Every structure is written in structure tokens, then in C-alpha cells.
Amino acid sequence: MEKRRDIINVAVIAHVDAGKSTLVDAMLSQSGVFRENQEVVECVMDSNDLERERGITIYSKNCAIEYEGVKINIVDTPGHADFSSEVERIIKTVDTAILLVDSSEGPMPQTRFVLQKALETGMRPILLINKIDKKDQRAEEVVDMTFDLFADLGAEDHQLDFPILYGEARNGVVKYEMHHENEDIKPLFDLILKHVPTYPRRDDEPLQMQVSALAYDEYIGRLGIGRVTRGILRQGQVVAVADQEDGVRKAKVTKVFVNEGLARKDVKEAFSGDMVIIAGIPDISIGDTICDENVVEPMEKIRIEEPTLSMNFLVNNSPFAGKSGKYVTTRHIRARLEKELETNVGLKVEEMEGTEGYKVSGRGELHLSVLLENMRREGYELSVSKPEVLLHRDENGKLLEPFEKVLITVPDEYSGTVISKLNIRKGNMEGMLAENGYTKLEYLVPTRGLLGYRSEFINDTRGEGVLVRSVEGYHPHVGEIPKRNNGVLISQEAGSTMAYSLFNLSERGTMFVGPATEVYEGMIIGMNSRRDDMVVNPCKNKKLTNTRSSGADDAIKLLEPKEFTLEEALEFIESDEWVEVTPDNIRLRKKILNNGERAKANKASK
């Protein structure tokens, strides 16, 4: 028999890069979860390769520690706007939230979103001002800004009386006051116990638990994750599953797991208040309520955010198809997307008529590019179209499109360029503040206007600007938005590129390929300095002559070609172009590869 313990569930919420995962690392290491000889990696909760490389949390994850006899379940949530539906659901399963705010940045757009969700549930968050060791920290001012944010969001009086801590998560230090001397994170643990009542004991009531997240295990299939609101959940128990459509069916829970440290522990029973992972219900879904088979009381439905962007995932039909990928057919792509749908509830997949491909819709460019990046690493090969914004109509038939709140910080000398670019992209300025040589801009911009803007923004601000976006909602359609200003350089034949040709072509634009690169007809090899597309031959070599002066070829010095990340490539392409995604290459190409056929199609469309 398992022993009932006092339980508190805590979510760590914040904007991207405020230090959530680092704080959870410190909580785990100082609670004695790791063995003395155990090697511990940084951001141990970011278990996915992509999460580690990008330094962001993509999927919310659970772990548990024990402090003074109380089990504290901790959920590390994503801060990125594209994964906001994860945050919303997790907030409903916890007793309090630790709101992390950077001591110099202050509250950001995403801080507003996650805090709003926490306040709506009636909880009293704990404010932790992080990174107080920064040179430009302004902790006292940030506390006032956060208080104003609480008030703006309509916080109740008891929520406005929030406890405040100061910390350096990186060094594993949390203090009650800025000037206090302290070496550990103990004040945070003590405050959680003092500030948050343990979950009430409701073990003798009928079972009720709502599924707030999903996971997948190769051996036992789909897993449901959630908090046991009341009752006891036992291994082998027959339960009633009330789904979002109000249907009720019987099912058997074959396995029950709880978190102990970072590990999942297989248990015979779990008590009210605990976060559990259950197996045995293959069609379990977000929002389903697991009830006592004789007392069916479904909990409030969970609304999952609608997708805002779509892309077409197509079979790769380029001349280089199948050279590096292991999974290349429609069947492979369909199977992989179906597997993704098991756990990625913000995603929508539809078959495309008359073509070998799928329309895949998600919450934003990052949401979809993370899926693509995972697929290419697993050996998939496919072509992807330009992202398109999903439009809606209101009850009066008026066309609506998604808008995003954009917060920008740039050195003063670049602010004029940024303002002019965002105005062209139909952005609406909502605030501007200049201080200490930097300008802070607040904009409301249609998502369509932001497609392709990030790389332009980096160039315009010489990499010194910071741009933060979060989905704001649907507003009336703003009409035509200017497209990319430059045309592209397109290879007219297949072959290997020559330094001599690339050198001559580089006067006409920016090259995307270096010498000795295999290319094919219709592949995009550079950006033209003018508006028109230009078909060129990058494979032509210098004619040999009888007399050749020594040193004549030494003058060929090529600039480094521009290499695209997956996101940059998706942002760059136009509607008649595709990104060819393979395990070892990201290439840009025209949809119609043959020059003559492309010219005919362009003529017909005009």
C-alpha cells in the first residue's frame, strides 16, 4: 500500500528566457534528488535535443521533490507564445505559480499571458525577481511594474498581496530581501509551505481526474497526465471516461505512475491532489474526465487554442529526392503526422485533394518548424510550402485575421528603420519609450505582416535588436501587405557549382551556395539585388586558352554564402517556392523546376 502524503502542486511560469528551467534545476539539486555520483546536465528538464539547442522549453514537464515531509510536484512550463495552450491547461492543475520576472527586462508580453491565466483560476502567485546579479538590474522598479500588471489584469485584493522573493537561479540562490546574505534556495521552499495550503484530503470521495496533457510511450502507448481532483486512482481499476463531446465510455487503467524526482514511479494507487500519468486508455484525449464508474461527473471542458498558421507538407519530388532521407513517401509522412497528433493537441492535419501532401496547421512558425526539425532529424525528407495565415469570418461575414502583440527593444539609431518597416507591414504602434540609448516599441501587427520579418529585423538592427511576439487575437483583415522586395537567382541546369561562375554572379546578389555544391534546374542559389527572378548558370567554368598568365585566377575570392536555418528558409520563400527539407540539407527551390514550364505558368496566372 502506498502511504498518503501532503501534496502541493506548483507551476513555474514566465516569459521566454527568464530562467524557469534553471530555477527547476536548482530546486531539484538542492532537494537531494540527485545521487552524489550522478552526472547532472544543465536544464535537466529540457530533455529534447531541440530544447537544449535552442534554450527553450517546448513541452511542459513534471518532476517532484520532498521538503519537510511535503511532496511538491513542480511543472516547468513553456514560455513561448506558440506553446501557450500548454500553459493554459497546466495552470488548472496546480495550487500556486512561481512567476519569474527578469530583474532588468521587467514583465514581457508573454508574462502578461501566463499571469492572466493564473489569476483567472483564483490562485495567489509568488513573485520571484530573477537575475538580480545583472549589472543593469532594476529590481525595485520591476516589482512596481509587476504590481501594475497584476492590477491591469483585474487581480483580486488577496492576489495583489503577493509574496516577493529575489534570486539568482543560475547560482541556486533565493532571498527574502535584495541585501540579505544567503547561499541556497531554502527561502523558496519555506515560502511555498507557508504561503500555499496543502491539497485537501479528498480520498474518500468518488474518483475524479481531468487529463491536462498527453505523452506517448513506445511500449505502453498513449498516456494521460493530470491531477487527481478527488478519490483514489488504482492500478487495474475500471473507470468511466467522460470525453469533451459528453460521451461516456468504460475503460481500464492498466498502469498508474507518479513523479519521484525526475523519474516516473509505478504505483498501485495515487491519492487526491497528486499529479499522475495513466496508461491503458488508447483514445484518451485532453480534457477527458476520468471518473468512478458509478459516479460520472465531467469537469469543465478545456478549450484548445485554434491554429493560426498552416503549411503544406508534400512528398519531395526534386532530382535529389531520396539521396539522404530514409522516410520519403506519403505513407511515411502520414504515419509520422498521425503519431504527432497523439500528443500535439495544438496541431491540425488535413489531406490535400489531388496532390500527395497534407495541410498542417499550428499555433505559429515556431510550433510548425519544431515539428519539421524533429522530422528531418528522424530521417524524413519532404517539401514545404510558404506558411499561410488562417483567416476567419465573424457572424456578420466580415473577414478577420490573427494579430500579434510585438515588443521591440533597439538601439536608438535603428528605431526609425524598424518603425518604417512595421508601418509598411500594417503594424499599429501602441507605445514608444526612449531611455539609455535604447528605444522600446510596442506594436500590434497582423501575423501576415510578421512572416519573413525576423531575418530582416536582425539585418536592420545589426543583430542588436530584441523582438518578442505573442498571439493577441483576431481583428479585421487589413488588406494587401507588400511581399519580398528581391527576386532570386535560379539555376538553369544540374551540375556542380564553379567558383568562377559564383564570383561573377555575386556582383548581382547574395549567394546561398558555395563552390562545388551539387545543384539542379529550378533550385534557388541566391537572392537577386533587383526585384525580378533571374535564371543563371552557376556551373560554367572559365574557358581554357593557350596563354594564361600566372596569378590570373588568384583574384577569385568568394564571400561566405548565406546559410538558412529552417525558420529563416520558411520566412524567405514566396508562394511559388518550396523549402526542400532533408536530414542533411535545407534547399530552396521553385515549385515548377523547368524554366520553360515556369514561364508558361507565370504567363497563364497573369
If DSSP codes are grouped into helix, strand and coil, which group holds residue 298? coil
Pinpoint the alpha helices (H) of 255-364. 330-343
Instruction: Round to whole Å and give the CA distance between 64 and 87.
Output: 18
Instruction: Round to whole Å and give the CA distance between 214 and 225.
Output: 6
Q: For residue 565, give the DSSP letter.
A: P
Report the chain's terminal Cα–Cα distance, integer Å. Answer: 75
Find how far residue 455's CA is from the centre of its chain: 18
Instruction: Round to whole Å and give the CA distance between 418 and 432.
Output: 12
Instruction: Round to whole Å and give the CA distance between 582 and 381.
Output: 4
Q: For residue 395, give the DSSP letter.
A: T
Q: What values do phi and psi take at 21, rounded to 5?
A: -65, -35
Q: For residue 327, give the DSSP letter.
A: B
The CA-atom distances, in angstroms, between 494 and each of 184, 511, 522, 533 are: 62, 17, 9, 18
Instruction: Round to whole Å and give the CA distance between 346 and 336.
Output: 16
Helices and strands in the chain: count of H runs, count of E runs: 15, 35
| CA neighbor of 408 nearest in space, from 475, 460, 478, 484 | 460
Binding residues for GTP, as ranges, are 17-22, 130-133
Instruction: Round to whole Å and give the CA distance between 105 and 82.
Output: 21
Task: List, in order, residues 6 or more apart from 406 with CB less than 8 Å away.
Answer: 109, 422, 427, 441, 442, 443, 444, 445, 450, 467, 468, 469
CA angle, residues 159, 160, 161, in degrees to nearest 5: 90
Which grid cell is 458? 536582425
Q: How many CB atoms lie within 10 A of CB 221?
A: 14
Binding residues, as ranges, are 17-22, 130-133
Instruction: Round to whole Å and give the CA distance between 24 and 62.
Output: 10
Q: How many CB atoms lie within 10 A of CB 144?
A: 11
| CA neighbor of 337 nearest in space, from 317, 318, 310 | 310
Find cell 500500500 and name the residue. 1
